[in-house]
């Protein structure tokens, strides 16, 4: 029995969807740098990312939960930056927890195995 945490295919798809949303929000905060308040489309996008994050991280110990935002109320650039930073930090923690499932993590794991598939005594 492996002590590494497992991740379902649905969770992998959800994480990939969330990472695309967070990447778009990071672009907005770091590159586009909007001034003033965030419009309704941006608030809806942020709210959708928060819902996906809550569903994905709800059973993960140590990962934060995110409150919903009111999409009718204005959101300042500082509030947006704070929420995007929290989403990014949670995503990094999630990636570190499941690093063995990435292509790089799998190749590092298989590199330590001998030709017969058993752990190499030299690794």
Q: What is the CATH number of the domain that holds 96?
A: 1.20.120
For residue 23, which of 44, 49, 55 has the smallest C-alpha distance?
A: 49
Q: d(Cα 115, Cα 53) in Å, to the nearest integer?
A: 40
Residue 28's domain spans which residues?
Answer: 9-111
Total of domains in the chain: 1
> Is residue 37 situated within a structural domain?
yes
Q: Which residue has the higher pLDDT, 99 or 1?
A: 99
Average pLDDT, the chain: 84
> Is residue 100 situated within a structural domain?
yes
The yes-or-no verdict on residue 110 having pLDDT over 70 is: no
Report pTM.
0.78
């Amino acid at each position: 029995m492996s002590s590494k945490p497992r991740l379902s295919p649905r969770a992998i798809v959800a994480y990939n969807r969330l990472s695309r949303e967070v990447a778009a929000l990071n672009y907005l905060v770091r590159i586009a740098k909007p001034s003033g308040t965030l419009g309704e489309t941006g608030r809806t996008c942020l709210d959708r990312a928060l819902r996906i994050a809550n569903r994905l991280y709800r059973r993960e110990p140590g990962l934060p939960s995110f409150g919903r935002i009111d999409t009718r109320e204005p959101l300042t650039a500082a509030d947006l930056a704070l929420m995007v930073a929290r989403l990014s930090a949670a995503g990094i923690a999630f990636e570190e927890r499941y690093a063995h499932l990435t292509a790089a993590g799998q190749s590092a794991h298989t590199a330590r195995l001998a030709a017969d598939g058993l752990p190499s005594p030299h690794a």
